[in-house]
Amino acid sequence: MPKARIIAYYLPQFHPIPENDLWWGKGFTEWTNVSKAKPLFKNHQQPKTPADLGFYDLRIPEVREQQAEMARSYGIEGFCYWHYWFGNGKRLLEKPFEDVLRSGKPDLGFSLAWANVSWGGLPYGDKYKRLLIEQTYPGEEDFKKHFYEVLPAFLDKRYIKIHGKPIFTIYNPKGLPNPNKFIDLWNKLAQENGLEGIHFIAYQHFDYPYKKFGFDSLTPPSPSHLFNRVKYNVLDRAVNKITGYRLNQLKKGTLKLRNIYTHKQILEASDYSDLDEGLKFFPSCSPNWDHTPRSGSKGQVIIDQKPEYFYHNLENCYKRIENNDPEEKIIFVKAWNEWAEGNYLEPDLSSGTENLKQISNFLNK
């Protein structure tokens, strides 16, 4: 086993679908928001421009092969694909993963994370408050239908497992009407279909009672959990009390964009030594973050980004899991390719492969 198992979240929204054509205009993909982004303060690096892989289309098999080869070469075990099931069999953005599953290529590990939330326009820069598609939970028959939809993935040899159990992450466990019922049902169906069961991961903050609701572990939303853990110094607290602004806002001369954090602040927040040892979680870290292409001045931005901070963030994560069973030495990285959140490992024209190199350096130290 490697020093740690690195799994990177993977966004499939890099190909057009009829729904996005209707909501956002013909040909919309994640690249639409990426390419139209504007700098909002001095030295704000926008738009972001992909390097080695270019503005790709995930319907093309060669693109997926190139991504996998790049990930593998730097030590990443696999991708955690965001998976969308809105109830009554309604899915979106399923084509890239379905092609991976059907073709058997690329030969890289994978898992699924159910993004069980309604889609609304506002978080994505929409000036209209509209509900695009609602997340629903029609009941037990739909839970069964959902299970059998993903069962071929669970049975695939590439699926990432812990002690024989495929891992399945649920983004919004609070949204499930009865998490225990859902988990019990899926574990029963898994065992009926030749699996040991399923390792359920709650994508939640540390105060979520994951055991109570039947989850095996949790993983914190990254980097939002680190934003919540930032400790402001006396000067910053005083400035904020007097002016209503943060020092980072004033330094960058942007009074509308409130949520600006330095990469050093994020690194310091990733020290988990204060957390209960009995809390079973797989740490998650981000090499970068800039949500403004999607949400403008409502977005969060990490400034002064340095690859070495990402490396030390990985080290902080490892301190939490180094005594785990080898199969449970998992670190999630958000993300492989969430470009419109300024959150990606794929090379760009600014930093190239530097963040990928930090993963390799960390694993080989």
Instruction: State the CATH number of the domain containing residue 145.
Output: 3.20.20.80
Q: Which of 298, 301, 343 is nearest to 126 (CA)?
A: 298
Kind and range of the H or E run holding 32: helix 30-36
The pLDDT value recorded for residue 36 is 96
Cα(113)–Cα(121) distance, integer angstroms: 22
The pLDDT value recorded for residue 121 is 65
User: Residue 195 region, left (φ>0) first, then alpha (ψ -120 to 50), else beta?
Assistant: beta
Under the banding of pLDDT at 50, 70 and 90, the label for residue 28 is very high
The pLDDT value recorded for residue 59 is 98
Is the pLDDT reported for residue 127 higher than 70? no
The pLDDT value recorded for residue 322 is 97
Cα(67)–Cα(10) distance, integer angstroms: 11
Cα(344)–Cα(333) distance, integer angstroms: 9
* pLDDT tens profile 329-351: 999 999 999 999 999 999 999 99
Assess contact for 341 and 290: CB atoms under 8 A.
yes
Tokens 């330094």: give the residue: 251
Is the pLDDT reported for residue 180 higher than 90? yes
Q: Which of 304, 261, 264, 307 is nearest to 287 (CA)?
A: 307
Assess contact for 87 and 138: CB atoms under 8 A.
yes
Range of the domain at 154: 5-364
List of E strands, the chain: 5-10, 78-83, 109-114, 119-120, 131-133, 161-162, 165-170, 199-203, 217-219, 259-262, 284-285, 300-303, 330-333, 337-338, 343-344
The pLDDT value recorded for residue 120 is 85
Q: What is the mean pLDDT of residues 192-201?
A: 98
Q: How many domains does the chain have?
A: 1
Q: What is the mean pLDDT of residues 88-92?
A: 97
Cα(267)–Cα(326) distance, integer angstroms: 25
Cα(242)–Cα(158) distance, integer angstroms: 55
| 154 residue type, one letter | F
List of E strands, 214-349: 217-219, 259-262, 284-285, 300-303, 330-333, 337-338, 343-344
Contacts of 237 (CB under 8 A, 6+ apart): none
Under the banding of pLDDT at 50, 70 and 90, the label for residue 148 is very high
The pLDDT value recorded for residue 130 is 82
Burial track 106-125 (b if 16+ CB lie within 10 A, e otherwise): bebbbbbbbbbeebeeeebb
Q: What is the mean pLDDT of residues 13-27?
A: 96
Q: What is the mean pLDDT of residues 113-133?
A: 77
* pLDDT tens profile 237-292: 999 999 999 999 999 999 999 999 999 999 999 999 999 999 999 999 999 999 99
Is the pLDDT reported for residue 143 higher than 70? yes
Encoded tokens for 145: 């239908």
List of E strands, 233-316: 259-262, 284-285, 300-303
The pLDDT value recorded for residue 83 is 98
Beta-sheet pairing, 337-338 with 343-344: antiparallel
Under the banding of pLDDT at 50, 70 and 90, the label for residue 1 is confident
Assess contact for 283 and 219: CB atoms under 8 A.
yes
Assess contact for 237 and 268: CB atoms under 8 A.
no
Cα(188)–Cα(24) distance, integer angstroms: 41
Encoded tokens for 226: 């680190």
Query: Which CB contacts under 8 angstroms, 24+ apart, belong to 84-90?
Result: 84/114, 84/115, 85/114, 85/116, 85/146, 85/149, 86/133, 86/134, 86/135, 86/136, 87/135, 87/136, 87/137, 87/138, 87/142, 88/136, 88/138, 88/142, 89/142, 89/145, 89/149, 90/133
Is the pLDDT reported for residue 72 higher than 80? yes
Mean of all residue pLDDT scores within the chain:
96
Is the pLDDT reported for residue 105 higher than 60? yes
Encoded tokens for 316: 């902080």
Assess contact for 248 and 233: CB atoms under 8 A.
no
Percent pLDDT > 90 in the chain is 95
The pLDDT value recorded for residue 129 is 74
Cis check for the bond before 106: say yes or no (omega within 30 of 0): yes
The pLDDT value recorded for residue 122 is 58
Encoded tokens for 242: 């007097």
Query: Residue 168 — φ and ψ, nearest 5°?
Result: -140, 115
